[in-house]
């Protein structure tokens, strides 16, 4: 077998393979002989079909099977002998496949780039730090009161803190999933739209062109400018509940006291802050790793990641009530992030391999319990994770990523950055 490999562009390779005709013909004849022992043809006794008849009747299909199998087996033989690491499936192009002649084919494929991690000793990374103040707890109490608030319709102009109920369309399309939308002024979800509602009255109509925030929860709309045609159906103000024993007990605080309520809130906020710091630190560490190690991402893996991201976006939109016929996803818009994810995956995998990191059972259990703590019934959530191997594999990957982040932070120059609890939570929503 003769093999030659050339670099076409980037990570793409073209392998030319020539397989001796004798190997092909020998395999074809062996298969026809084996087949003749079992095949049944009218006019011939079992096992007595002449070879010429077998060759005439079954030769073309047997030869096709042999060519396909030998093409694939010899390709992987050649890849293994040259220590090439494939990044995706090959594309085969036959040159010669005629009876009696050597089989010749080309295989076009991508290889994995050999990753040589650059030192991180000169890289600077900021680690966030914050303290929960009494004012932060006051803010949380206020948020919980607003969650339990009763919306009461009013006959006056809308102002900060009010809820405005509107009907209408965006870019000429009626609201998806429901006839009306509710806008809470000051909620910070869509500040420009919220501000445009200030001073508006029930029955008023407004048309305006507004740009969705870059961090808008629906990614398909983020950063997009749209034309709004709205009519105000109602203006409501929120009547906040009193922070009394009944209110406090509704949060499962047994003694119903304000002191116990605030202590429990602080504990929950501490957990939330720790997770926010972890997320922010991880994002900065991974970004530093990527900046310090520019590598090429195999096109096949990028395309696979794009397909996965597009499917996730489609499922999200469907769950939000967007009809399948109205979902228009632009593949190029996913490619930059898909390429970034593939590059990060390759770098993280290389660190895990080099450092021999493992996701031990105790570490996985601790991570599962940490994730489950945010659920109403943590014990059931733990069982849910352990009931499915795929879910548990996802947690194992998180454990490995945490180890990689710790390793990066141990290599880099780390400085502390003091921030606020509120800022941490705002940033976490965009990570």
Please check the confidence at residue 429 and state whether its pLDDT lies above 90: no
Q: Which pLDDT value is given to residue 106?
A: 94
Count helices and strands (H / E) in the chain. 12, 12
Q: Is the dihedral of CA 133, 275, 290, 358 positive or negative?
A: positive
pLDDT band at 333 (very low <50, low <70, confident <90, very high): confident
pLDDT at 242: 94
Same topology, domains 2-110 and 150-239? Answer is no
Q: List, for residues 345-394, the tens digit of each pLDDT value.
A: 999 999 999 999 999 999 999 999 988 887 878 899 999 999 999 999 99
The reported pLDDT for the residue numbered 34 is: 85
What stretches of 178-330 show up as alpha helix (H) in DSSP? 191-196, 245-249, 258-292, 299-319
Average pLDDT over residues 311-335: 83
Q: What is the pLDDT of residues 121-132, one digit of tens each?
A: 989 999 988 999
Read off the pLDDT of each residue in 423-430 and give the average, rounded to a whole number: 71
d(CA 97, CA 24): 10
| Angle (nearest 5°) at CA 99 between 94 and 104 | 25
In sequence order, what are the beta bridge partners of 9? Answer: 12
Quote the CA–CA distance of 348 and 21 in Å, as a whole number.
45
Evaluate the CA torsion angle 172, 177, 313, 399 in order and state its sign.
positive
**Mean pLDDT calculated for residue range 150-167:** 94
Distances, alpha carbon 401 to alpha carbons 58, 301, 363, 371, in Å: 55, 20, 12, 15
Q: What is the pLDDT of residue 221?
A: 76
Per-residue pLDDT at 179: 63
The answer to whether 294 touches 81, Cβ cutoff 8 Å, is no
Q: Indicate whether 175 pLDDT > 90.
A: no
Q: What is the pLDDT of residues 207-265, one digit of tens each?
A: 999 998 887 777 667 788 989 999 999 999 999 999 999 999 999 899 999 999 999 99
pLDDT value, residue 232: 95
β-strand pairing of 124-129 with 150-153: unpaired
The residue with greater pLDDT, 114 or 393, is 393
Please give the share of the chain, as a percent, with pLDDT higher than 70: 97
Predicted pLDDT at 177: 56
* Res 288: pLDDT: 94
Kindly report the CATH number that applies to the domain delimited by 2-110. Answer: 3.30.70.1050
Average pLDDT, integer, range 308-335: 84
Residue 430: pLDDT over 60: no
| Integer angstrom CA distances of residue 317 from 102, 221, 370 | 54, 11, 29
pLDDT > 90 fraction of the chain, expressed in percent and rounded: 63
Residue 176 binned pLDDT confidence (cut-offs 50, 70, 90): low
Tokens of 125: 């990374």
Q: Where are the domains of the chain?
A: 2-110, 124-131+247-428, 150-239
Give the span between the Cα atoms of 394 and 23, in whole angstroms. Answer: 46
Task: State the DSSP string of 32-74.
Answer: HHHHHTT---TTS-TT---HHHHHHHHHHHHHHHHHHHHHHHH
- Residue tagged 């996802």 (tokens): 394
Query: What pLDDT does residue 69 have?
Result: 93
Q: Decide: residue 145, CB within 10 A, 0-12 exposed, 13-18 middle, 19+ buried.
A: middle
Structure tokens at 378: 């943590």
CATH placement of domain 150-239: 3.10.50.40
Taking alpha carbons only, the member of 193, 240, 197 closest to residue 221 is 193
pLDDT in tens, 80-99: 999 999 988 899 988 877 78
Computed over every residue of the chain, the mean pLDDT equals 89
CATH of 124-131+247-428, one of 3.30.70.270, 3.30.430.20, 2.30.30.830, 1.10.3120.10: 1.10.3120.10
């Amino acid at each position: 077998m003769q093999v030659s490999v050339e670099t076409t562009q980037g990570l793409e390779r073209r392998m030319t393979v020539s397989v001796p005709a004798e190997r092909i013909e020998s395999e074809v004849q062996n298969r026809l002989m084996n087949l003749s022992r079992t095949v049944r043809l009218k006019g011939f006794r079992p096992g007595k079909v002449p070879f010429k008849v077998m060759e005439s009747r079954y030769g073309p299909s047997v030869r096709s099977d042999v060519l396909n199998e030998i093409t694939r087996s010899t390709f992987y033989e050649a890849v293994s002998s040259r220590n090439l690491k494939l990044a995706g499936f090959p594309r085969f192009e036959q040159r010669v496949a005629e009876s009696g002649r050597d089989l010749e084919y080309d295989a076009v494929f991508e290889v994995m780039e050999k990753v040589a991690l650059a030192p991180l000793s000169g890289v600077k990374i900021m680690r966030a730090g914050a303290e929960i103040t009494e004012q932060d707890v006051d803010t949380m109490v206020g948020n919980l009161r607003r969650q339990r608030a009763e919306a009461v319709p009013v006959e006056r102009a809308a102002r900060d803190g009010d809820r405005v109920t509107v009907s209408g369309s965006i870019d000429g399309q009626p609201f998806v999933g429901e006839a009306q939308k509710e806008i809470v002024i000051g909620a910070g979800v869509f500040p420009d739209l919220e501000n445009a509602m200030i001073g508006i009255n029930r029955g008023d109509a407004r048309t305006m062109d507004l740009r969705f925030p870059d961090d808008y929860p629906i990614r398909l709309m983020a950063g997009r400018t749209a034309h709004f045609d709205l009519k105000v159906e109602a203006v409501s103000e929120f009547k906040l509940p009193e922070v009394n024993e009944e209110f406090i007990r509704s949060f499962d605080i047994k003694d119903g006291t304000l002191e116990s309520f605030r202590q429990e809130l602080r504990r929950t906020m501490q957990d939330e802050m720790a997770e926010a710091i972890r997320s922010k630190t991880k994002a900065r560490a991974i970004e530093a790793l990527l900046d310090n190690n520019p590598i090429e991402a195999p096109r096949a893996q990028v395309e696979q990641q794009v397909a996965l991201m597009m499917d996730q976006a489609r499922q999200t939109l469907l769950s939000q009530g967007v009809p399948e016929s109205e979902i228009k996803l632009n593949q190029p818009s996913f490619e930059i992030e898909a390429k970034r994810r593939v590059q990060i995956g390759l770098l993280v995998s290389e660190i895990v391999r080099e450092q021999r990191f493992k996701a031990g059972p105790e570490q996985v259990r601790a991570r599962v319990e940490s994730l489950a703590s945010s659920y109403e019934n943590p014990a059931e959530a733990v069982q849910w994770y352990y009931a499915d191997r795929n879910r548990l594999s996802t947690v194992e990957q998180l454990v490995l990523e945490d180890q990689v982040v710790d390793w990066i932070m141990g290599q880099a120059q780390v400085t502390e950055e003091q921030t606020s609890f509120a800022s941490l939570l705002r940033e976490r929503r965009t990570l």
